[in-house]
Every structure is written in C-alpha cells, then in structure tokens.
Amino acid sequence: MAARGYWQAFQVVEKSIGRVLKGQNPGTVAEQDHRDWYREMFAPSVAAGILKPADLAGYRSGQVYIRQSMHVPLNREAVRDAMPAFFDVLTKETDPAVRIVLGHFIFVYIHPYMDGNGRMARFLMNTMMAAGGYPWTVIPLPERKTYMACLENASVGENIGPLTGFLATLVEKRLAGAPLPDVPTSTRAVGHE
C-alpha cells in the first residue's frame, strides 16, 4: 500500500513540476498542490478502510513526535499559522538553492501532518529543484542516518550547514551522471515517515 500511495503521489507531483517548468512560481505551485500530493500518498489506505477521507483533510489535529529526535514539532495551533507563513516565504524566495534547502527543512520542522512529512518534504524539495534546473534527487537508503543527523543538527543544533552540504553533494552526484539508487521493491517503504 505504501508503494502504491507513493507512486500515486509521484504522478501528481510530476504534474506540479510540469507547471513549474512552464514558468509558474514553484512556491505557489507547492502551496496549491501539496494537499493533493498528501491525499494521493494515503489514498490506498482510504481505499482499504484503514483511514477515513476526513483523516486526510487539512493539517494534523494533534501533537506529533519524531522517533529518535530531540526536535518536537510545532503544536497543532501553531501549524495553522506557520504553514501560510512558510508558503509566503517560499513563494517570495528567488534563489533556487535557498528554496530547496529551506523549503525542505522548514516543512519537516513544522511537521504539518501526522504521517508522511519526510516524503512530502522530499517531494517539495524536488519541486524546488526542478524550478532551479536541478535533477530529481533522492536520499539513498544507505544515507538515511546521515540525512536524519543533518535534519537533527538543523532543527535542534540550529546549524543548517550540514543539511545544505549533504543535499549539495547528492545533487552534484546526480549532475555528474550518478544513477538514482536501485532500491529493491520490498524495501521502498522501509523507514518512511
């Protein structure tokens, strides 16, 4: 189910990226479309009766905690104020590299949904990458610990440098022709958040 939902969300993200490549503001596109990405990601769970459609409406209604992290995301009331402010900043930002790093980081820092925030942030990151002319970039499973440590350093240690360097290295590898990691189908849903 997780793989199906990811594929369905990816199809919607591709359409969003198409709009960005036609010149629409990437922050505006992400603001308009991110809820559709989220609904598609969890649509198989709705179809299976695990979730109700109402579970996917709006942002989270409770507090959420991140496993193995000292960062405690914003409370639910703050999320409703933070998300419009986040998209306002993302829409106004003109530097593609800043949109990529801060767009990804601030989304996971706010953690607006009960589940799927990391996947959503990576969809958002790649939408911003497309706007800057960068290739689709994934976080390879063997790099997950480094990735999570960089996010922790940014959110708890207030140091965005390691995350910036980590993402830049991944983009450089893709620009140098490194293929996307070959991830066996059975492990694609492992470690999702």
Catalytic residues: 111
CA–CA distance from 85 to each of 38, 81, 106, 124 (Å)? 19, 7, 11, 16
Chain-centre distance of CA 121, in angstroms? 1
Question: Residue 2 burial (CB < 10 Å; 0-12/13-18/19+)?
Answer: middle
CB 7 within 8 A of CB 73: no
Structure tokens, 91: 């829409």
Query: What does the alpha-carbon distance between residue 133 and residue 174 come to, in Å, rounded to a whole number?
Result: 12
Structure tokens, 167: 């993402």
Half-sphere exposure of 140 (CA within 13 A, CB side): 13
Query: What does the alpha-carbon distance between residue 147 and residue 136 come to, in Å, rounded to a whole number?
Result: 17
